[in-house]
Structure formats: structure tokens, C-alpha cells
């Protein structure tokens, strides 16, 4: 840390503590601010007003941490997913098997030739009726039914050949 900035260390930590409401998080934020300061100095950035630069850097570093926190908060964790399974009394083995089958089917559906892939997607993933699919794809309903029949047949074979 620059010797001229030592005088701001206590004030910076108090600011960090007010922002984080937690001693350990405030320490982390202060370290991140100093890391950004070191990076700025290593790039030979000319700083005319070090105090102003420090506080601006502190603010932007804190904003970045807040954005990262918000992003992490939105992501569902494996632990949260498992807690949901346990809370709802779901058979974990059955759940895992179902997820594996879904993934296997999704991978194999991508390998289907184009009209078949499109129809499966519209019917199973977009919940369109056979009549709506026929209208959208400009084909007869009987052809849509035939494609769905072929898709089910192929997928059934894939599942039967897989060992779970």
C-alpha cells in the first residue's frame, strides 16, 4: 500500500464495514480495493489526486461486488436443489434417474432429422397441439402424428438400450 494512503486505511475500513455490515466481508472488500489500487499503479496510471482516486476505486469495487453477489443469489445451488428434494420427500434415486433420462432424450432429440426434431420440440417443449403444429409447419395432422409416433419409437429404443 502507498505510504500516502496509510492515513485513509482506518477510514476506508469503516466505510467498507458500513457497506458490508460484516467484519469479514469488510476486510475482503478492503483487500479487493487495495488489489485494484495495486493493479492501477502497476499500469503506470498517473493519479493526480490519490484520495479522490481511492474513494472512486472503492465505490466501483463495492458496486462490482454487489453485482457479483446479486448474480450468485439468482443462481440455484446444488445444495438448495437437494434441500428442495428432501423437503418435498422426493425419492432421490428416482429423481436422478429421471434427470438422466431427460438429458439422454434431449441429446438424442438434437440428433433427429429436421422435421422430426422441430415437431418434437413444438409438441413436448412448447406445448402446441397437433393441429397447431400442422398449421404452423404447413403439413397434414396425420403426418405430424406419424412423426411423433416415430420419435417416441426411437426414444423408447434409446431408453431401453441404456443401463441405468
Instruction: Give the 3-state DSSP-derived string for 98-151, with helices as H, strands as E and coil as C.
Output: HHHHHHHHHHHHCCCCHHHHHHHHHHHHCCCCHHHHHHHHCCCHHHHHHHHHHH
Q: Looking at the predicted structure, is the pLDDT value of residue 146 above 90?
A: yes
Count of beta carbons in the 10 Å neighbourhood of residue 124 = 14
Q: Give the lowest-confidence range in 51-55, 132-136, 160-164.
A: 160-164
Q: What is the pTM of this model?
A: 0.43
CATH 1.10.10.10 fits 90-161, yes or no: yes
For residues 105 and 158, the answer to whether their CB atoms sit within 8 Å is yes
User: What is the arithmetic mean of pLDDT over 154-163?
Assistant: 78
Amino acid at each position: 500500500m502507498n505510504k500516502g494512503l496509510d492515513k485513509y486505511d482506518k477510514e476506508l475500513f469503516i466505510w467498507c464495514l458500513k457497506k458490508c455490515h460484516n467484519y469479514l466481508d469488510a476486510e475482503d472488500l478492503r483487500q479487493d480495493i487495495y488489489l485494484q489500487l495495486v493493479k492501477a499503479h502497476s499500469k503506470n496510471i498517473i493519479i493526480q489526486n490519490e484520495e479522490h482516486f481511492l474513494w472512486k476505486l472503492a465505490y466501483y469495487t463495492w458496486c462490482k461486488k454487489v453485482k457479483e453477489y446479486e448474480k450468485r443469489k439468482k443462481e440455484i445451488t446444488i445444495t438448495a436443489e437437494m434441500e428442495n428434494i428432501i423437503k418435498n420427500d422426493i425419492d432421490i434415486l428416482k429423481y436422478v434417474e429421471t434427470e438422466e433420462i431427460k438429458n439422454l432424450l434431449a441429446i438424442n432429440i438434437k440428433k433427429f432429422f429436421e422435421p422430426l426434431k422441430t415437431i418434437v420440440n413444438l409438441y413436448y417443449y412448447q406445448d402446441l397441439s397437433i393441429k397447431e403444429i400442422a398449421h404452423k409447419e404447413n403439413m397434414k395432422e396425420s403426418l405430424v402424428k406419424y412423426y411423433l409416433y416415430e420419435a417416441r419409437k426411437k426414444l423408447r429404443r434409446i431408453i431401453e438400450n441404456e443401463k441405468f
